[in-house]
Amino acid sequence: NAGVTQTPKFQVLKTGQSMTLQCAQDMNHNSMYWYRQDPGMGLRLIYYSASEGTTDKGEVPNGYNVSRLNKREFSLRLESAAPSQTSVYFCASSEDKVNTEAFFGQGTRLTVV
Amino acid sequence: DAKTTQPNSMESNEEEPVHLPCNHSTISGTDYIHWYRQLPSQGPEYVIHGLTSNVNNRMASLAIAEDRKSSTLILHRATLRDAAVYYCILRDLGAGSYQLTFGKGTKLSVIP
């Protein structure tokens, strides 16, 4: 059972380049999330998707776009990367309940130079 | 969003019990108390959750105060693998999302 799979695991970008972080889950969850984690900090929500075809902004959405391609996949796009977007990015998914657990991917470590 | 307060760091000796406290004085009646932990270089993983009653699972126990304004995560015998950052999170259906709002958590060090 794969759970939540993120690709790539590591990426180095030059300022101004674009890239898409991929996330897929195999648990048939409606809700999916993208977080970023800066050194010494907790995770901050970038965007979330409550169901296929819907997305909403989280706490720190500026500089990012997302696509909920289907129920399994939720991608995060950086159109013009900036050094401030150097971070570890985590994708997560959960059922539509507050009394169940969320599952996280292993993260993508992104460096923008 | 209701917020939680945790100590920045704690230490424990290996094979001894660990009590990780969390204050959530503004908790609402529908907030579930969740605990997650994050091992070094990994994504967060679920530990336990509860609403009003104390809860036990294979990983830990959760003790919830009667007024629900605080809770304690109990690791019965700390191992080196339990060294991680532990996050106490209140989860509710805020703004139509089941998101988890993370604070800085408590960094637990386990001494051999």
A59-84 residue pLDDT tens: 999 999 999 989 999 999 999 999 99
Distance from CA of A88 to the nearest CA of B (A): 9
Tens digits of pLDDT across chain B (112 residues): 558 999 999 999 999 999 999 999 999 888 899 999 999 999 999 999 999 999 999 999 999 999 999 999 999 999 999 999 999 999 876 655 678 889 899 999 999 9
Nearest CB to A43 within list B32, B44, B98: B44
Distance from CA of A81 to the nearest CA of B (A): 23
A99 vs B contacts (CB less than 8 Å): 32, 49, 51
For chain A, which residues lie within 8 Å of any Cβ of chain B, measuring from their own Cβ? 4, 31, 33, 35, 40-45, 48, 50, 56, 58, 90, 92, 94-99, 101-107
Strands (DSSP E) contained in chain B are 9-13, 18-23, 32-38, 45-50, 55-56, 61-64, 70-75, 84-91, 106-111
pLDDT in tens, A30-63: 999 999 999 888 899 999 999 999 999 999 999 9
Predicted pLDDT at A1: 60
Which residue did the predictor score with more confidence, B95 or A92?
A: A92
> Is residue A72 within 8 Å of residue A47, measured between CB atoms?
no
Helix, strand or coil, per DSSP, at residue A6: strand
